[in-house]
Each structure stands twice: as C-alpha cells, then as structure tokens.
Structure 1
Amino acid sequence: MSAERVEIARPGGLLRRRWLSWARGLEESESGPFLVLMALSIAFATAIAVWPEWLPPSVILLPLTLGSVTLGPRQLPWFVVASLGFVALSVPLQAELGARLMVSYGLIFVVGFIFLVISFRRTTLGVAGSRGESMLVELRDRIMRVSNLPRLPGDWYAEVVLRSAGGTPFAGDFVVAARPGNGQRLEIAVVDVSGKGAQAGVRALQLSGAFGGLLGAVPPHMFLEAANDYLLQQEWAEGFATAIHLSVDLKTGVIEVRSAGHPPAVKLNAGIGRWSAVPSEGPALGLIPHTTYACVHGQLRRGDAIMLYTDGLVETPTRDMGLGIDRLLGQAERVLRSGFDTQGIEKLIETLGSRHDDRALLVLHRR
C-alpha cells in the first residue's frame, strides 16, 4: 500500500515542483512579463476589432498600465509602440467611427504617449516602476535603521523621534549612535543635511552610512573633524551639514558635547528641575577645511537628561532660533515634568517647529 502511495504521489509532486519552478522563472525573467503582456495586448486588440459593440477600445489601457508597472525601461517603449500599433490596425475594422469612438482612440494614444515619456525618464535608473519603488523603500528603511539606538544599561533611557517635511518618508535629518570598544561609552550624532524632505534624503542616506562608520572608529574628539573632511571630499553643490556630537560615559555620566553649526543641546538639572542650553559652537561641516571643534564638558547625574534636536524644531519662518529654543525649554518643562516616555517626547516634537521642515529630537535620561 505504501509503495502505491509513493508512486501516486510522485507525479503530483513532480508537476507541482515544475509549476513552481516555471512560475518563479517567469517572475524573475525580464522577457516573461513582456511576452505575457504582449499576448494580452494582442488579444484585447483583436477583441476590439471583432466585437466592438461588447468591448470598448479603452480596454487596451489595462495591459498598458500593467506594463508601465512591471516592465523595464528597455522593454516598455517597444511594448507601448506595439500595443498602439495593434489598436491602430483595429481602427479600419470598425463598422462606423462616431465622435465618441474617435475620442476614445485619441485618449488611448495620449495615454500611450505618457507611458513612453515615463519609460524614457526611467532610463537613467534602469529598473521598472515597482522595482524602483522597492529600492526607494529599502533606502528609507536604511535611514530608519541607522537611527536605531543601541541597547543601554537599565539606568539609562533614550528615545529618538524623526519627522520629515510634508510627511514624506525621506528626510535630511538623521541620528547615528554607537557603543564602541567595551560598550562603556555611548556616542550619538544628530545631523541636519542641507535641504529638506526627499531632496536631502539621498545625501542623508550617504552621510548616515559614512558617519555611522566614523562614529565608532575614531576617538570622540576626532569625529566631527573626520566628518568635515569626508563632506569636503564630496564636492557637492549644497555640500554642507550641521551636526552635534554627544559622547557619554555610561558609568560616571560624564559627557562631552561638540557642535558643528548646530543648535545647542539642552540639559535638565534634576536638582532644580530646570532645562538650560549647553552653549557649544563650531563651523558647519563641509565649509572650512582643517577645522577643529571645541568641547563642552559636563555630567549627567541621577535624574538629569539631555536633549539633542535639529533647527526644524526651534526655527520657523516667523520665529528666530533664540525664541524657538526658549519655547523648547518651556515645553520640555511642562510636557516632560511627569517623566520620560515615548508619548511625551512625540507630543513635544508635534507641538514645536514647522511641519514644512525636517525635525529630529533625541532625549537621553539617566534614571
């Protein structure tokens, strides 16, 4: 009985494996979708000519739309031209060409021209629409992953919140963090790339990878200098960025703050319950070669906290940065008075700054 079952099961399993292999090959092949869509386009064009009273000419837009999503820039122009050619061949076969039918054919050729323009614009990227979107999603996820903070000891709490201009998933503000060596120190950098939203997203991605590597590879006093040298080497038209670097000894709470054209950090003194700015100055990254950055020393005692942010949180077109920092201090005392949690920090970033600019906020609290 078992032998018979094996003999019966084998053909079905073999067919299933062959079907899955064929489907996978068709999905990964560049010519597979092209041939399927071409056959679909021919079938629709034939149906339009044979049964014009049942099938409107606009049905050919279905394979054209699918082709614009799945086909690459080398195949899409040929597919669009061929599909429009099939439609043109079906025109003389129509019994009568009324005004409505002529408008339908005109719209089909206009949409086909739009798809041709789309295919020519994709040539610089070299991938299909869906694959290009997947690449952008991966880039966005990469920026978000770099902002993840390392695991901290139980007596430390950290939270980072990012908001981009216009609500897009790409932003010119990012955070990188590391615990180099034996993990006794925490290194954090909050960076604001020139530009905003999607315009600065590509530069932010490149810098986040480079700065993330530098953060754990060079001593704290050399990080901003190395970042400045790296940015100068890029020779970008808008090749500058502001940054603030925080180095924390997780055992003693001793901190070092260095700034490169960035708004000052603000620190909570738990003894008096007041927030105050930590003055730190230095030129922005990518402007002056061979520059140095002064260090401001301090300490986070039990209950103290420090906050790093970008200028989008404190500066708006109608308010200068000084007034914005004062408002940040007042809101922090009010919102975070009962304790530090994700909800309070998100409320803080939502009530401050401009929604038309990228915003980043990081809070580090010693419990």
Structure 2
Amino acid sequence: MSRTGPTDDGDELLTRLGALTAQARAQAEMQRSRVELAIALQRGMLPRDLPVARRLHLAVRYAPAYQGLNVGGDWYDAFTLGDGRIGLSIGDVQGHNIEAAAFMGQVRAGLRALASVTSEPGEVLARTNELLLSLGSDLFATCTFMRLDPCAGVLESARAGHLPCVWATADGKSGVAEDEGGPPLGILAGMSYPVTRYELTTGGMFVLLTDGVVEGPCLRLEEGLDQVMRLAGIAAVAGMDVDALAAALIKGAERVGHDDDAAVLVVGLDAPEPQP
C-alpha cells in the first residue's frame, strides 16, 4: 500500500496555509502603513504655533486614534486675523480613514482662507459650507468657529453641527453653552449660522472639544460634558493655567471606551493691564 497520497495532501495544506499567512501579513502591513500615513497627515496639518496676544492664554491637546485601524479627521486651529483679533476653530470630519484626514486639511485651509476675507463667524461657516459643496465630496464636517478680541474679552461664536463649548468663571460658575448653531458643513446649500456673543472674564476659561473627549461606549455625551464642566470650574476657581486643564481633559478621553480621535482647545484670559 502506497503512503504517498496522504503525505502529499499534508504538504499541500501546509503550503496553502503558508500562502494565506503571508497574504494576511501583507494586508495587515498595508493597513498599518495607511494608518501611519493618515496620522502623519493629521499632525502635519495642525498648527505648529499658537498666536500670542496680551491677556490671552491658549492651550491645545490632540490624541489620534492609535488603536485599531480607525483614523479620524479631528482638528483644532488658532491664528491671528487681519485686525489683530484671534480666529479659533475646532471640528470633526465624518469617517475614519485617510480620506477623512485629507478632507480635514481642506476644511481647515478653507476656514483660514475665508476668515482672511470676512472674519464674522457665521459668514465664515456659511462660505466654507458652500466651498465644500463645490468640491463634490461625500464627506461632511462639524465645526465651531470663534472670533476673539482679547483686549475686550469678547468671543463671537458660530457652530456647524458641532458640540457646544464649555465655559467657567473664576467666581465658581460653569456651564455648557446653549447657542443655536446650524447644520454640519458640506451637506445643504444656502445654510446660515447664527452668531452668539460671550464675555470671557478675568480668570475665566472657554473649552472647545471634539466628541472623542466626551462620548463613547463607556460614557454618555451628557455625562462627558458634565465632567468637562466640573473640571473647568475647578480649574478656574483654583487659578490653574489653561495647559493643565487641557492636559487633564485629554487624559480623561482615555476613559470613554473607544479609539476615536480627541482634540481640546482651551482659552483663558488675564486681568486687563492697568492704565498709566
């Protein structure tokens, strides 16, 4: 009786398993390379420096989704406008892939460019919305754009489907902003975005963030915003600097139970300088 048949079958099975293993490794390496490319793209599009102005303190934190293969399109931005005021934006692109990261760069660049033409927050978002629609992409983005006058302590804000900001004052008050807002960018043409005016008092803080900081399988959005509100209130009363608050908030994002991107931008204001 010949035993060649079963041996040949075993060798063929091992060969097939080896080929499948090599194919799986190649696919995993390709996915890993795409994630690394998207993360590098994200980081390259975020601002390297924050604007400097009297009385103003800014702090940012950003944590990309390193776990798994999801890479989102969260961003923050801060830059000086033509009249000396400060433009602030934060947002989140729909989707978790390299296309979302690239689209994020288009949104951020569009906001900056249009803010150089008109810095009125509602107009900036309305024009950015039309610009994104003209690109013909299937993606959309949520966003908050603010114009800050550090000397007067005035913040003007417009939202496009994004999370509300959180505020806190040095006298112990804190809350979640209740401005009206409008739809996300890149969905419907002809949209308008109401502008809400806030006063940033001495020692007070405003917190802009993305949903990766406050929402996930282990944390409901309302609970996450409440935690941010409490932390901001404690920080303002204790006189903590904005950098410490930003670090605490991004650390808390690790407990939401998912691997989404997370971005935080904290704004603080000193007392006015005494007049001579």
TM-score if structure 1 supplies the norm length? 0.59
- Where does the alignment leave 5 or more consecutive residues of structure 1 unmatched? 1-101, 122-129
Structure having the higher helix fraction is: 1
Question: Which of 1 and 2 has greater Rg?
Answer: 1
How much has 1:362 moved relative to structure 2?
A: 0.5
- 1:166-205 to structure 2, matched below 5 A, reads 166=66, 171-183=72-84, 185-196=85-96, 198=98, 200-205=100-105
Structure 2: distance between partners of 1:329 and 1:266: 6
1:279 aligned residue: 178
- 1:246-257 to structure 2, matched below 5 A, reads 246-257=146-157
SS in 1 for 2:156: strand
1:302 aligned residue: 202
SS in 2 for 1:365: strand
TM-score if structure 2 supplies the norm length? 0.76
Aligned length, in residue pairs: 252
1:252/1:163 Cα in 2 relative to 1: closer, same or farther (>3 Å)? same
Letter in 1 for 2:176: A
1:189–1:246 CA contact under 8 A, matched in 2: yes
How much has 1:332 moved relative to structure 2?
A: 2.6
What is the alpha-carbon root mean square deviation over aligned residues?
Answer: 3.5
- Kindly indicate whether residue 45 of structure 2 is the aligned counterpart of residue 143 of structure 1: yes
How much has 1:347 moved relative to structure 2?
A: 2.0
1:136/1:362 Cα in 2 relative to 1: closer, same or farther (>3 Å)? closer
Offset from partner CA, 1:11-41 (integer Å, 9 cap, x none): xxxxxxxxxxxxxxxxxxxxxxxxxxxxxxx
2:242–2:266 CA contact under 8 A, matched in 1: no
How much has 1:317 moved relative to structure 2?
A: 2.7
Letter in 2 for 1:279: E
Letter in 2 for 1:256: E
Structure 1: distance between partners of 2:162 and 2:75: 13
- Kindly indicate whether residue 126 of structure 2 is the aligned counterpart of residue 225 of structure 1: yes
Offset from partner CA, 1:99-129 (integer Å, 9 cap, x none): xxx99xx89x969x96xx89xx9xxxxxxxx
How much has 1:354 moved relative to structure 2?
A: 4.3
1:140–1:170 CA contact under 8 A, matched in 2: no
1:283/1:141 Cα in 2 relative to 1: closer, same or farther (>3 Å)? closer
Structure 1: distance between partners of 2:206 and 2:113: 24
- Kindly indicate whether residue 263 of structure 2 is the aligned counterpart of residue 360 of structure 1: yes
Structure 1: distance between partners of 2:144 and 2:39: 27
Structure 2: distance between partners of 1:288 and 1:328: 31
2:114–2:127 CA contact under 8 A, matched in 1: yes
1:174–1:204 CA contact under 8 A, matched in 2: yes
2:8 aligned residue: none
1:335–1:348 CA contact under 8 A, matched in 2: no
2:130–2:186 CA contact under 8 A, matched in 1: yes
Higher RCO (C-alpha under 8 Å, 6+ residues apart): 2
Structure having the higher strand fraction is: 2
1:349/1:162 Cα in 2 relative to 1: closer, same or farther (>3 Å)? same
Letter in 2 for 1:359: A
How much has 1:253 moved relative to structure 2?
A: 0.9
2:7 aligned residue: none
Structure 1: distance between partners of 2:147 and 2:182: 16
User: Which of 42, 53, 65 does residue 152 from structure 1 map onto?
Assistant: 53
How much has 1:141 moved relative to structure 2?
A: 4.1
- 1:21-170 to structure 2, matched below 5 A, reads 139-144=41-46, 146=47, 148-153=49-54, 155-166=55-66
2:72–2:94 CA contact under 8 A, matched in 1: no
1:5 aligned residue: none
